[in-house]
């Protein structure tokens, strides 16, 4: 299964009863393992967690520490980039990784996180 296919499959597990906006993410670590995540909504919205953060937190909890790329899948005509909170978490744990955006129509775009998140805040400022 490719990283894009893994992100599309993860999307199907999303818990999105309020927005009906289902997102899947597949994060590849340096050892080639794939860690998936889907968005999980909560009635209070603020406690909802995005697919990208679920994938990263699962990977960290499983011992992974270095990552190569992430694929993010959503059912939108325009490819959906990570939100600001996810960009910060991605930068903190993954650095300037490759991001692959995809949708259900087969469109894809590949870019670096630094292109989405210039002048990111990290531990170097502390």
pLDDT in tens, 16-52: 999 999 999 999 999 999 999 999 999 999 999 999 9
Q: Which tens digits make up the pLDDT trace of 45-78? A: 999 999 999 999 999 999 999 999 999 999 999 9
By percentage, how much of the chain surpasses pLDDT 90?
A: 97
Span 5-15, average pLDDT: 98
- Predicted confidence (pLDDT) at residue 1 exceeds the cutoff of 90: no
The CA distance from 79 to 93, in Å, is 23
Whole-angstrom Cα distance, residue 92 to residue 87?
9
Give me the CATH number covering residue 106.
3.40.140.10
Determine which one of 5, 28, 52, 98 is catalytic: 52
> How many domains is the chain built from?
1
Which pTM was predicted?
0.95
Task: List beta partners, residue 112.
Answer: 98
Residue 54's domain comprises 3-125
Active site residue 52: yes
The predicted pLDDT at position 38 comes to: 98
Question: Where does residue 120 rank: exposed (0-12), middle (13-18), buried (19+ CB within 10 A)?
Answer: middle
The token pair that represents 59 in the structure block:
């990977």
What string of H, E and C letters represents the secondary structure of 29-57?
A: ECCCCEEEEECECCCCCCCCECHHHHHHH
């Amino acid at each position: 299964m490719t990283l894009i296919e893994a992100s599309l499959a993860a999307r199907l597990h999303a818990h999105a009863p309020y927005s009906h906006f289902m997102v899947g993410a597949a994060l590849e670590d340096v050892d080639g393992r794939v860690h998936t995540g889907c968005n999980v909504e909560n009635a209070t919205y603020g406690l909802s967690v995005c697919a990208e953060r679920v994938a990263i937190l699962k990977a960290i909890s499983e011992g992974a520490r270095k990552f190569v790329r992430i694929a993010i899948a959503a059912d939108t005509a325009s490819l959906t980039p990570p939100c600001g909170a996810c960009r910060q978490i991605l930068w903190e744990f993954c650095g300037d990784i490759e991001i692959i955006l995809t949708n259900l129509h087969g469109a894809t775009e590949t870019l670096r996180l630094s292109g989405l998140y210039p002048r990111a805040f990290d531990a170097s400022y502390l």
